[in-house]
Amino acid sequence: MLDAVVLANLLYEIGRDATGPNIKSAFNEYYDERYNRAKADLQASQKVSNIFAGQTWTDDVKRKAMSVLAPASFSRSIFYNTSGYRPQASFLPKVEYHGSGEVEPQKESMRYLREKDMTV
């Protein structure tokens, strides 16, 4: 879902100037923004699934150790580290944030701001 939002935002910025080089540039920017995050998320997901769904005795030991030894603050810190990146569709009004964790700022859409100014 995050990939779709980021790519939609980049393609929205192109607008009517959709030439081959502009589209290629949008995909390059998409790659720069998403690749490392997506790779890290995939690796973390694989590790967690091995611990919680693994069938070996070492997976069982890890699972029991995590449930007994890991403090609640550990789970909270993982949640806050992974939930801070929340891109929103730049062609829609921003959703107001009411949470407690920090959220990474999102680059404003110049096209959306121009179109919004023209309608006001």
Spell out the domain ranges in the chain. Answer: 2-90+100-119
Q: How many CA atoms lie within 13 A of 95 on its CB side?
A: 8
Task: Give me the helix-helix angle, 20-53 and 57-69, nearest 10°.
Answer: 90
Q: What is the pLDDT of residue 120?
A: 61
Closest by CA position to 35, among listed 10, 2, 13, 9: 2
The tens digit of pLDDT for each residue in 56-101 reads 888 888 888 877 777 777 777 777 777 778 888 888 888 888 877 7
**pTM, 2 dp:** 0.71
One-letter amino acid at 108 equals: E
One-letter amino acid at 91 equals: F
Q: Provide the phi-psi class of 20: left if phi over 0, else alpha when psi is between -120 and 50, else beta.
A: alpha
